[in-house]
Structure 1
Amino acid sequence: MSVLPILTWPDKRLTQRCDHVGHEDLRPLIADMFDTMYAAKGRGLAAPQVGVMKRLFVFDTTWKEGDKAPMIMIDPVVIACERVPVVMEEMCLSIPGLAVPVERHKAVTMQWTDATGDIHMGDFDGAEARVIQHEFDHLNGLLHFDRIDPALRDALEKPWLAARA
């Protein structure tokens, strides 16, 4: 497999809503996405971050502390969320080096398809819930910047963009 280039902000593809996958075989892409995520030392990676405008993401919230536990969500749907807000700093592989305080739901219930076409439903909390919500946002063309106060976004975004100009 191979490591793919990761798109960085302000690439317009990062603000576009992705298309449903359906019955497409994406196993080679998924393998490349895991290679890319691990090489970048991330915990999650959405397809649009590698220029593929499909509704899928990969994640592994445990590999930095122990064994790998890779997960794939294809055409995911948020079924429910625990409306307890939790604010934590998040980083994004598409905006490297910039931590942003983001409010997310404490827990989520998801439905998704795996790489073999089987449909699953599961409850997630803690780090898994946060990563899932972050990656799910990418499928809808949202970045963690879109979840913060506009004044804070402006204060963080301008110097980040200026440093890359």
Structure 2
Amino acid sequence: MASLLPTHPLLLHHRGSAPTAIPTRCFRHSTSFHLALSSTNRTKASFSAAQHELASPGDFEFDAPLKIVEYPNPKLRTKNKRIATFDDNLNKLVHEMFDVMYKTDGIGLSAPQVGVNVQLMVFNPVGERGEGEEIVLINPRVSKYSMNRTLFNEGCLSFPGIHADVKRPESVKIDARDINGKRFSVSLSGLPARIFQHEFDHLQGILFFERMTDEVLDSIGGQLQALEMKYEGLTGFPSPEKIESRRRRKVPSGFGKL
């Protein structure tokens, strides 16, 4: 696989951790990926971001080690606040998110997936600690995306053991802040674009099964219901959502939510 451009500000390098072998991936993919800094064959996005409340210091409080929040935990649907303070608390959260991502065989993770409802995602397309590039995107927004869409067999750490095909744009152009709060724009294609779109949906409260066709959704319906029953058994409360009642809901083909 090709390497990401190491000089771009969205790339964050962590040192001092020994590489750890990871046998599986959150997404299944066997071809190379590419990160481009110019936009080609893209159209203007229809997504217009709504105003998000700013996060306070209390929104960054968490207990280490972080744990993955599984469907149908309401944290996955809670509104995620924009980040305005770039300090040690943010750096600590980023570090802990990478740590739990690697330990759970992931290649991407959003903050709501660990119960912290802020506009933050991390990913490493290689999925190996100490290899590839660790990417941090804060308050990301989509400015353009490709009209060309491809199917991809996706998985999600919040849906353990579930993999299914999702069609998404091949490339996107995004605006975001880096770990120091600096604004930048970048175009992503291939696997980085796919990971970004999956995690970006999390930041909008959208889950990957809402991007699936009815046929694909039917194929995993039993697994989703099993997670709902697991939640009820662990919490003693009714599931906050039922896949049967959500089958009729559709999300836009581009970005954002209804």
Both proteins in one fold, TM over 0.5 = yes
Tell me how large the CA RMSD over aligned residues is: 1.9
Structure 2 residue 161 is matched with structure 1 residue 97: yes
SS at match of 1:21: coil
Q: How many percent identity over aligned positions? A: 34
Q: Deviations over 1:95-139 (max 9, x none)?
A: 011101101100011111111111111111000000000000000
Name 1:113's counterpart in structure 2: 177
Aligned with residue 209 of structure 2, among 141, 145, 149 = 145
Structure 2 residue 60 is matched with structure 1 residue 17: no
Q: Give the conservation status (yes or no) of the 8 Å contact 1:112–1:121.
A: yes
Aligned with residue 126 of structure 1, among 176, 186, 190 = 190
Greater strand share, 1 or 2?
1
Unaligned 5+ segments in structure 2 are 1-63, 231-258
Shift of 1:67: 2.1
SS at match of 1:83: coil
Shift of 1:17: 2.9
Q: Give the conservation status (yes or no) of the 8 Å contact 1:63–1:69.
A: no
SS at match of 1:162: helix
SS at match of 1:72: strand
Unaligned 5+ segments in structure 1 are none
Name 1:8's counterpart in structure 2: 70
Q: Deviations over 1:42-80 (max 9, x none)?
A: 11000000000001100000234x823100000001111
Choose 139-148 or 153-162, whichever is displaced more.
153-162
Q: Give the conservation status (yes or no) of the 8 Å contact 1:21–1:54.
A: yes
Distance (Å, rounded) in 2 between the aligned partners of 1:34 and 1:57 = 10
What is the count of residue pairs matched by the alignment? 164
Runs of 4+ with >4 A deviation: none
Distance (Å, rounded) in 2 between the aligned partners of 1:151 and 1:19 = 34
Greater helix share, 1 or 2?
1
Q: Give the conservation status (yes or no) of the 8 Å contact 1:75–1:113.
A: yes
Aligned with residue 147 of structure 2, among 60, 64, 83 = 83
Aligned with residue 118 of structure 2, among 34, 47, 54 = 54
Distance (Å, rounded) in 2 between the aligned partners of 1:81 and 1:73 = 17
Distance (Å, rounded) in 2 between the aligned partners of 1:61 and 1:75 = 20
